[in-house]
Structure 1
Amino acid sequence: MNIVSISGSPSQRSRSGWLLELAQARLETAAHERHRVQVRELPAHALVAADARHPEVAASVARVAEADVLIVSTPIYKAAYSGLLKLWLDLLPQDALRGKTVLPLATGGSIAHLLAVDYALKPVLSALGARNILDGVYATDAQLPSLPAGGYAPDDALLERLDRALQPLLSTHERMRVAEPARC
């Protein structure tokens, strides 16, 4: 599987970015290729001007075209995904996610924004052609408390939800691995 992860957080140290890294780590054995797009590292002027031809933006869009699986991670602000992620998603071609499996991940301050995954993020992913959208994972700040040395400590319930969301990808990988003919 070629897995491309999209981080829509404007912050360098973020819970949503950390959750994305955790998902990637749990899929390590299933990925033959992994790439990560940090939207905050793309040129702001190109994103705001909707310049899809800018070389860095075009390269990020090309990564999506090559992907089998897309993991999209964002903080939730005011009951919606980040504006930074929106700027980048607007640069994708209309059917950019057709034929891809997509896993939405989101973090927020409280459970009050839980439905933003279903009512804000999943619809835009669907509008971009995604038909195989896995169960989203939403984590609150309390489920990902920060550690004094950096990083975060996920609670058991969050890890269980993440593993359940990733299971279809791991099952597909296992079926493909078993079906491969033995090489001599």
Structure 2
Amino acid sequence: MDMTKWTAVENNDPTADGKFYYGVKTTRIFCLPSCKSKLPLKENIVFFHFYDQAINSGFRPCKRCRPDLYSTYAPNEQLLTEIKNFLDKVFLIPQCLEGLNERFSVSSFHLVRIFKNRFGLTPREYVLNSRLEAAKNLLTCSNMKTVDIAFSCGFSSYTTFFTNFKKLSGLTPEEYRKGGIL
């Protein structure tokens, strides 16, 4: 048995997807290495280099990991695109994150996990960064008062705006407006 492949199956390694498939002799089902189905016994595993090898050996594709759709199947991509597009439209609304998981019919945990895996930020961090970018733009391109910028960019208080702005940019909003000159 190829121990490298077995380790990939044991660890549900997504980087091994497309490099090989594994079949379970007892069920006659074959999967991608990243499949989250119950780990089969080592002695019941057979490895295939190609999709067609598995089919020609009498195995059928797993309904969970869908190796038959491997190159096109990405169930979370459409959801993530919809969530990101929604947040891009509403990030200036202070309560835009409330009920986000219900709006997209997913659990809060799942939403945060897949969003962070895809974009490197939680939805809350993404919205905060979007608000701060809008604030930076207004600070450099308008004569609005800083407090008005804070509220127009979706912050619920000036203190929250000031604290987050300084934490992420290293400058106060007024220092940023003056070009970073202290």
- The normalised TM-score by structure 1 is 0.20
Over alpha carbons, which structure has the higher Rg?
A: 2
Q: Which structure carries more relative contact order (alpha carbon 8 Å, separation 6+)?
A: 1
- The normalised TM-score by structure 2 is 0.20
